[in-house]
């Protein structure tokens, strides 16, 4: 499917804005998850500003789509999306990780509007998302659950237990998105616990599998829309991405998984994202 140039440009601009918000939220001299936030920004922009149905004035609206950030250490990216979507003021992003702030290093469902579950203990988000998806079916609510997981995170056994259960229960209102940037905290995924081949694994658990360029907005939108049409199977979108995308000195650099910006690199990042 082809989408209008205007829509694609607007979403690309949103993704760039989210990356800029991430940098401003992290600031100077404090460790922050630039790499995995920036690799996922295009996907999160598509979800919040194209695909998902929600009401910022009523975050607990029963008739809403759900998004779970299973790789909760990149919470700063979700905070940026929530702020830009109107859940809370954009200026509050600069309080991220400060003592007393409602924007902490990992998502807190009790404090932050728009957060569906506390995540960050890796591997748990898909199980929670499956429970929500099945609950929606029981309540006859025609809404979707989206779960963003990292390609390092799929080393966790709980991911595959949830994948097996989702296939068994034919949870076609559940879409998982794997941010395949090929780097984790301490190096390349293939050198730590090689999770390849991903497609064949998910297919063996009876999932519909779509592989895309995770920075190509046309492909992202097409995959999200395709997932809507699939019945009796959950869908996983495997998105090939670049860790640190949009900030030249951070791209494909393991050190920026949770890196510290100097005054100089902070200014350079903002210039590149302006």
Helix ranges (DSSP H) in 139-231 = 157-168, 189-192, 198-204, 217-229
Please tell me the predicted confidence (pLDDT) of residue 274: 92
Domain at 168, CATH number: 3.40.50.970
Share of the chain above pLDDT 90, in %: 99
- The residue range of the domain holding 86 is 5-272
Give the total number of structural domains in the chain. Answer: 1
Please give the average per-residue pLDDT across 154-175, as a whole number. 98
- Mean of the per-residue pLDDT values for the chain? 97
How far lies 23's CA from each of 114, 120, 223, in Å? 21, 20, 28
For residue range 234-272, what is the model confidence (pLDDT) as tens digits?
999 999 999 999 999 999 999 999 999 999 999 999 999
User: Residue 87 class from Cβ within 10 Å (0-12 exposed, 13-18 middle, 19+ buried)?
Assistant: buried
Please tell me the predicted confidence (pLDDT) of residue 5: 98
Beta-strand runs (E) in 107-158? 145-150
- Confidence band, pLDDT 50/70/90 cuts, at residue 2: confident
């Amino acid at each position: 499917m082809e989408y209008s140039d205007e829509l694609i440009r607007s979403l690309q601009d949103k993704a760039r804005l989210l990356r800029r918000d991430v940098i401003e939220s992290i600031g100077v001299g404090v460790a922050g998850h630039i790499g995995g936030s920036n690799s996922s920004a295009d996907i999160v922009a598509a979800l919040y500003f194209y695909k998902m149905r929600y009401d910022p004035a009523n975050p607990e609206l029963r008739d809403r789509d759900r998004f779970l950030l299973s790789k909760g250490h990149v919470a700063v990216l979700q905070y940026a999306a929530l702020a830009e979507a109107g859940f809370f003021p954009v200026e509050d992003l600069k309080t991220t990780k400060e003592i007393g702030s409602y924007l902490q290093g990992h998502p807190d469902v009790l404090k932050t509007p728009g957060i569906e579950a506390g995540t960050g203990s890796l591997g748990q988000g898909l199980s929670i998302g499956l429970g929500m998806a099945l609950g929606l079916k029981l309540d006859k609510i025609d809404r979707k659950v989206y779960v963003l997981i990292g390609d390092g995170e799929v080393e966790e056994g709980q991911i595959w237990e949830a994948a097996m259960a989702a296939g068994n229960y034919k949870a076609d209102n559940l879409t998982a998105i794997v941010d395949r940037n090929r780097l984790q905290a301490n190096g390349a995924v293939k050198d730590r616990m090689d999770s390849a081949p991903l497609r064949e694994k998910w297919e063996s658990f009876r999932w519909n599998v779509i592989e895309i360029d995770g920075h190509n907005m046309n492909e992202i939108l097409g995959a999200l829309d395709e997932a809507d049409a699939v019945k009796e199977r959950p869908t996983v979108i495997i998105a090939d991405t670049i860790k640190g995308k949009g900030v030249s000195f951070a791209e494909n650099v393991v050190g920026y998984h949770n890196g510290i910006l100097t005054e100089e690199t902070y200014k350079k990042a903002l210039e590149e994202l302006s």
